[in-house]
Amino acid sequence: MYRYLFFDADGTLFDFEQAEHNAFWKMAESLSLPLERKHEQDYIRCNAEVWKQFEKGEVTIDELKVKRFANFASETGIFLDAEEASRSYQYQLSGQGILFDESITVLETLKERGYTLFLATNGIAEVQRGRIAVSNTERYFDHIFISEELGYQKPDPRFFAHMFEVTGLGEQKQFSLMIGDSLSSDIAGGIASGMDTLWLNKEGKPQDPKVQPTYTHNSLSSVLDFLNGPL
């Protein structure tokens, strides 16, 4: 039934939590910041809050990069240069191409079965391009869509409209499938654009009655049992 697979990156193919952890502490070391373990959770919270503001259009992506560290410094009392911390963090994060154990097997198998693969990710272009390069995964995808490069972020319908315009698959939506771990961005956006969706619910999160994916799987590897080959 499906021929064209659009994969989310973070939380789906890439282990972003581990990448974020590594980058945070490498940044702290490079700037000689006197941080304690609890400060990592403080940063994660500040980061999430600013990303929510970005999704609502309250801040730009450039403002987001710095504001999350400015808020972190304000809330923790840690003295730092927010712009310097942002540059260091982005540099460190761009080198963290950490995949889940099954990701390469899944991508290689699906390519061998004849599917056309695309990557559709939110995030900062410098960071995502770096991580894709380090992980050597670009070769699997016919095209890579990154929100900062597009100017729109999932679930914005313009993100998905751009994907279909570039790929020429606007009339092939019935053969296209969005695969991702986020109900609010991957699945909601895919549904709104007229695609079928596959939600990777690895953590057993409760279903949102307002967002109904076409399929739900609890592991990436289980996708191989479902996608036996394109028509």
* Residue 6 confidence (pLDDT): 98
Q: Which residue has the tokens 């702290």?
A: 28
The predicted pLDDT at position 231 comes to 62
Q: What is the DSSP string of 153-217?
A: -TT-HHHHHHHHHHHT-TT-GGGEEEEES-IIIIIHHHHHHT-EEEEE-TT-PPPPTT---SEEE
pLDDT in tens, 45-74: 999 999 888 878 899 999 999 999 999 999
What is the crossing angle of helices 16-30 and 82-94, to 10°?
130
Q: How large is the average pLDDT for residues 165-183?
A: 97
Q: Show contacts of 173-177: CB within 8 Å, 24+ apart.
A: 174/1, 175/1, 175/2, 175/3, 175/4, 175/230, 175/231, 176/2, 176/3, 176/4, 176/5, 176/6, 177/2, 177/4, 177/5, 177/6, 177/214
Q: Does domain 16-94 have CATH number 3.20.20.100?
A: no
DSSP SS3 for 116: strand
| Mean pLDDT value across residues 81-108 | 97
Choose the catalytic residue: 8, 181, 186, 196. 8
What is the predicted pLDDT for the residue at 70?
A: 98
Neighbour count for residue 197 (Cβ, 10 Å): 24
Query: CA 22, CA 92: separation in Å to the nearest integer?
Result: 8
- Per the annotation, the verdict on 196 as an active-site residue is no
Token pair recorded at residue 227: 């996608």
Distance of alpha carbon 71 from alpha carbon 182, whole angstroms: 25
What integer pLDDT is reported at residue 133 of this predicted model?
Answer: 97
Instruction: Using pLDDT thresholds of 50, 70 and 90, give the confidence band for residue 122.
Output: very high
Specify whether 208 is catalytic: no
Average pLDDT, the chain: 95
Dist CA 231 CA 225 (whole Å): 15
As a whole number of angstroms, the distance between CA 214 and CA 190 comes to 10
Once rounded to an integer, what is the mean pLDDT over residues 83-112? 97
| Sequence ranges of the domains in the chain | 4-15+99-226, 16-94
d(CA 11, CA 182): 8
What pLDDT score was predicted for residue 164? Answer: 98
**Cα 50 to Cα 60: distance, rounded to the nearest angstrom:** 10
Quick one: average pLDDT of 212-230? 93
Return the pLDDT at 151: 92
Give the model's confidence band at 230: pLDDT under 50 very low, under 70 low, under 90 confident, else very high. Answer: confident
pLDDT exceeds cutoff 80 at 172: yes
Is the separation of the CB atoms in 80 and 66 below 8 Å? no
Query: How far out from the chain centre does Cα 167 lie?
Result: 20
What tokens were used for 176? 């296209």
Please tell me the pTM assigned to this model.
Answer: 0.94
Span 183-205, average pLDDT: 95
Q: What is residue 224's predicted lDDT score, i.e. its pLDDT? A: 94
Domain 4-15+99-226, what fold?
A: Rossmann fold (3.40.50)
For the chain, percent of residues with pLDDT exceeding 90: 91
Please state, in angstroms and rounded to a whole number, the distance separating the CA atoms of residues 77 and 71: 10
Mean pLDDT along residues 71-94: 97
Nearest of 87, 89, 117 to residue 104 by alpha carbon = 117
